[in-house]
Amino acid sequence: MNIFKFELKTYWKSFFLWSLGIVALQIIMMVFYPSMAQDAQIMDLILENYPVELLQAIGLGEQVSLASVLGYYTFVFVFVQLVIGVQSGYYGFQFLSVEEREHTADFLFAKPVTRRRILVGKYFAALSILLLTSLVVAGSTFISIELFRDGRGYETGPLLMLLFSVPLFQLFFFSIGMLVTVMTKRIRSVISYALGFGFGLYVLNAFRSIVGGEMLGIFTPYYHFEPSYILMEGSIPLERALISIGIIISAHLITYVAYLKRNIRA
């Protein structure tokens, strides 16, 4: 029984729907850029009157101008992060709990395969879908920008750095989803967990932007991979990224050990 191929097939429909949503989101939001850029001075004056904390909460900093391609895309990518955060969390909460939730665990573990092989096969299937999603994000990013940049130039370097951060951003949500799944008895509503987790960490980062302070940012990848910082500075904040990497590695190790010892409910 090829677990990897079987699991991969089960992801195709959801992958297609998530990808369609990501592409549509980027195109729909970039459609407004040409008209927004024409009234750039008015928009920038309006934004100057908004509190800095509020602008940061919606992904815009003091140096971000909606007139520039990357400045406007900073605003767009905040919503892209929300979508891929929920999607990655959904796959993390789902891939270890589905057998227990759908009462197929007894069938799976009756087969001549070890738990390690089951875990590895399911993991790499989910990881493959996440990597394909990151490619969809990258492709739709460049396509939507090229379609609606209205002849305005932009630097590709900072944009590539932002897109390179996507797999780590995905792995954060996926890893925590795995960890929660293996540490709880049963997850009845995966989408509820994914939505709560994705939006909850976004709200936490928005709250951090408003009240200030670095401590709250430790717990949210929206701060570790902040689009405005990456696009304006042209680099991923190393110290913040290392926090995410540490959490990802820890979650993987705990999940692996706990799953091998877990009492699977049939």
The predicted-structure confidence for 59-100, as pLDDT tens digits, reads as follows 666 566 777 888 889 889 999 999 999 999 999 998 777 666
Predicted local distance difference test score (pLDDT) of residue 137: 97
Q: Which residues contact 91 (CB under 8 A, 6 or more apart)?
A: 11, 126, 129, 130, 174, 177
On the question of pLDDT at 132 being above 80, the answer is yes
On the question of pLDDT at 174 being above 80, the answer is yes
Q: Which residues contact 189 (CB under 8 A, 6 or more apart)?
A: none
Identity of the residue numbered 54: L
Q: Are 59 and 77 in contact (CB under 8 A)?
A: yes
* H helix intervals, the chain: 3-30, 33-38, 40-48, 52-57, 69-95, 98-101, 105-109, 115-148, 156-164, 166-183, 190-211, 221-224, 227-233, 238-261
Domains of the chain by residue range: 3-261
Q: Which residues contact 184 (CB under 8 A, 6 or more apart)?
A: none
d(CA 156, CA 154): 6
d(CA 221, CA 198): 10
Residue with tokens 């940049």: 149
- pTM comes to 0.89
Q: Are 80 and 222 in contact (CB under 8 A)?
A: no
Predicted local distance difference test score (pLDDT) of residue 38: 75
Q: For residue range 248-261, list pLDDT tens digits in order.
A: 999 999 999 988 88
CA atoms within 13 A on the CB side of 170: 23
Other C-beta atoms within 10 Å of 67: how many?
A: 17
Q: To the nearest whole number, what is the mean pLDDT of the chain?
A: 84
Tokens at residue 63, please? 């140096």
Q: Which of 141, 173, 134, 159 is nearest to 251 (CA)?
A: 173
How big is the chain, counted in residues? 266
Quickly state the pLDDT bin for 266 (edges 50, 70, 90). low
Q: Picking from 13-17, 95-99, 178-182, which range would have the lowest pLDDT averaged per residue?
A: 95-99
